[in-house]
Chain A
Amino acid sequence: MHTAIQLILTSLQIGAVYILFSLGLTLIFGVMRIVNFAHGHLFAISALVVAYTVPLLAGWNLPALPAYLLGVVAAVAVTLVLGFLMYVFGFRYFQRDMVGSFILSIGLVLLLDGVFLKVFGGAVRPVPEILPGTVTILGAPVTAQRLALCVAAVIITALLYWAMTRTKLGKALRAVSIDHEAAMLQGVPYGRIAFAGFMIASALAALAGALIAPVTIVSPAIGADYLIKGFIAVIVGGLGSVPGAILGGLFVAAIETVGGFYFDATSATIAIFLLVIVVLLVRPKGLLGHG
């Protein structure tokens, strides 16, 4: 029983970040029909900004939590600026162009890899402990930081889900995602909605990066691992589907945790790729995909 609880908690902790990451990917795909391989760099820059600003602010005798919150604000701001530049000077011209956007995003990956290494250096950056201590849930220990991350991820996901189903912008995003031409005929301004979708996705990547920074290995390469897992999550869940991204994120995290626990990490990674193959064979559009 204790093992099961530990595994469930671990899956939820890992899955929380995968969900936030995958939601951004799926939103961009749904609205613009492009695959953004540079999404991991939006995530990475956010984590890097947190890793740089928090120790700096802590050095000015600011307590850890306020320093972290200010770091998160800075990280989201920087990420949104990068997202804005990516959209305005790049993806705007390649909407609904899979090949063009693919080449563009690979180019951006190479460019940003070099820029990040130059600006931030390649070494791992430490983030001081924000919420010290460990809590026990049904006998399984979880750090306060991880728990806070999960709670934040649940709140953000719930807010996004509410916004997608209840607000005008959310409904427009969904309409464009289902049939952009029909949506435009109904008066939905596609260009503005695509821009909004891209910026929301950038913000989600920024929040995911800022949330994971205190509990992981922050380096310019951090986005690569999450990008692969995030893509697997959206493919399993269904490209363009918000509930699919949530389900896919949890699925990948569960396999990684259970596979890693009973076999080893490498076997778990193989299992995740096998899962993608099976899902693509049985349901090519993913578990909850429709488009």
Chain B
Amino acid sequence: MSIATKARLYGFGASLGLLVAFGGAQAQETIKLGLSVPLSGAAALWGKGSEFMCNTAAEEINKAGGVKVGDKTYDFKCIAYDNKYNAAEGTKVAQTLLNRDGVKFIGGSLGTAPVQALQSLSERQGVLLFTTAWGPSIKGPKFPLTFTQMSTPFEILPPLIRYVHKANPDAKTVVLLNPNDATGQDTEAVAKKVWTETGVKILSSDFYERGTTEFQPIAARIASLKPEIVDLGTMPPADAGTVLRELDVLGWKGVKVVEVGTGVDALKVTGGKAIEDVYMGAAVIFDGPGVSDHQKAVNAKARELLHESLNSIQIGFYDSVYAIKAGIEKAQSIGPKKVGAVMPQVKFTTFYGGQIGFHGKDTYGSNQQMELPVIITQVKDGKLVELSRISASTN
């Protein structure tokens, strides 16, 4: 071997060694956070905002040095697929996330039916699942790896309905309308119970199929029953806005409640002026002295993308990323089962401000529900006004 060849070989070896050493020092393993959310249809805005919030939290954590387990550091990466808010697509998304992408942490999922499809795989495969799904059937000791990232009917409905009743004591009758799926049915059961306990008579409780575009017959039926309150439960904003507009055309005037109402803009798209005075249970206000610079900055960025302020559904996808980080660091493991075991004890900083953990043992049998405040809002002169903020401890 000539000297020149030897020199080339040594040079190549040295370069390779440097590359490996440098690369090794730089390499930061990535933890994939799967999302099963609607990215099309009436609830697309919720899904897109959820993906945005997951990415925002992941970027913040990555910039701040990532997730630390011993001497290793991990980055987060969010991967979102469209579950179209139905079980069939939810099943496909579950297969893709768990079996193809090998995801071990679900950063968030939306819609009880698609989440049930996902959960049937995630619990079996030992994958940690965060969800906004409202159904009480998805929580409890039977599902130790499932955690809820937003308040659900059990947390929102009692204070919201009590507030609406107190503000409108003369309103004695209500008609309920919900989507005909697991989300709608679970919510309706709670709403019926709370309205009845409050002393309001339920004239009718109806369901409609998701994907419906003609709400005239539904509105005609509601108006004919002459209720003093209309509760549109878990209807997505576009659907709820359409019903309110049709009710307005028919001359119905009364108290309007959208329990999962998440903001003015999306409701206004189809509801126009008919959304005035609507009470909501899942919207968040982003102006006023109590709003932090961080909240304002993230919301401004979200508005550029979504043309709508953030809401509690989407914020749940931010909080879950921080909860997973806290869980991994507390467990000092990236094993989802180990993280799931410590999750009920972790504390993390919520987007709303302050440290929170998990509660819900009395309701669900285990602490799987984030301790979040319930914010009651109402549309006034086309703008959202915060009426009351009830902390999880007093709820």
Interface residues, chain A, with chain B CB atoms under 8 Å away:
3, 6-7, 10, 13-14, 117, 121-126, 129, 134, 141-143, 212, 216-217, 219-222, 224-226, 256-262, 264-266, 268-269
B residues in contact with A266, CB < 8 Å? 180, 206-209
A residues in contact with B269, CB < 8 Å? 124-126
CB neighbors of A among B258-302 (8 A) = 266, 268-270, 272
Contact B211 A221 (CB under 8 A): yes
Measured CA separation A141–B270 after assembly (Å): 19
Give me 27 A-to-B residue pairs in the complex whose CB atoms sit less than 8 angstroms apart, sorted by A's number. Answer: A10-B217, A13-B216, A121-B44, A121-B48, A122-B41, A122-B47, A122-B48, A124-B42, A124-B237, A124-B269, A126-B269, A143-B249, A212-B213, A217-B238, A219-B40, A219-B42, A219-B44, A220-B40, A221-B40, A225-B213, A257-B220, A264-B206, A265-B207, A265-B208, A265-B212, A266-B207, A266-B209
A residues in contact with B84, CB < 8 Å? 221
- Knowing A216-B214, A265-B218, the reply to whether A134 touches B40 (Cβ < 8 A) is no
B residues in contact with A220, CB < 8 Å? 40
CB neighbors of A among B1-47 (8 A) = 38-42, 44-45, 47
Is B251 an interface residue when CB atoms closer than 8 A count as contact? yes
Residue of B nearest to A136 (CB): B251
Candidate in A124, A134, A141 with the most chain B CB atoms within 10 angstroms: A124
CB < 8 Å: which of B41, B216, B249, B266 contacts A134?
A: B249
- Knowing A256-B217, A261-B224, the reply to whether A217 touches B270 (Cβ < 8 A) is yes
A residues in contact with B249, CB < 8 Å? 134, 141-143
Q: How far is the CB of B46 from chain A (nearest CB, A)?
A: 10
Measured CA separation A216–B246 after assembly (Å): 11
Contact A141 B220 (CB under 8 A): no
A residues in contact with B41, CB < 8 Å? 122, 219, 221
- Knowing A126-B270, A256-B214, the reply to whether A261 touches B242 (Cβ < 8 A) is no
Residue of B nearest to A117 (CB): B40
- Knowing A124-B238, A143-B249, A264-B206, the reply to whether A216 touches B48 (Cβ < 8 A) is no
What size tier do the contact residues of chain B reach? 35 or more
Is B250 an interface residue when CB atoms closer than 8 A count as contact? yes
1/0 contact string of B34-70 vs chain A (CB within 8 Å): 0000111110110110000000000000000000000
Known: A123-B48, A224-B211, A225-B211; 8 extra A-B contacts, CB below 8 A, are: A126-B268, A126-B270, A217-B238, A217-B270, A225-B213, A261-B221, A265-B180, A265-B206
Contact B207 A264 (CB under 8 A): yes
A residues in contact with B218, CB < 8 Å? 260, 264-265
Residue of B nearest to A212 (CB): B213
A residues in contact with B217, CB < 8 Å? 10, 14, 256-261, 265, 268
Measured CA separation A122–B213 after assembly (Å): 15
- 5 tightest A-B CB contacts, nearest first: A260-B217, A122-B40, A122-B44, A264-B206, A265-B208
1/0 contact string of B182-226 vs chain A (CB within 8 Å): 000000000000000000000010111101111011101100100
A residues in contact with B306, CB < 8 Å? 123
Candidate in B40, B180, B213, B272 with the most chain A CB atoms within 10 angstroms: B213
Measured CA separation A124–B254 after assembly (Å): 26
Measured CA separation A265–B239 after assembly (Å): 13
B residues in contact with A117, CB < 8 Å? 39-40, 82
Candidate in A123, A220, A224, A257 with the most chain B CB atoms within 10 angstroms: A123
A residues in contact with B242, CB < 8 Å? 216-217
A residues in contact with B250, CB < 8 Å? 6, 141
B residues in contact with A264, CB < 8 Å? 204, 206-208, 218, 221
Contact B213 A217 (CB under 8 A): yes
B residues in contact with A143, CB < 8 Å? 249
Measured CA separation A221–B250 after assembly (Å): 27
Measured CA separation A260–B206 after assembly (Å): 10
A residues in contact with B208, CB < 8 Å? 264-266
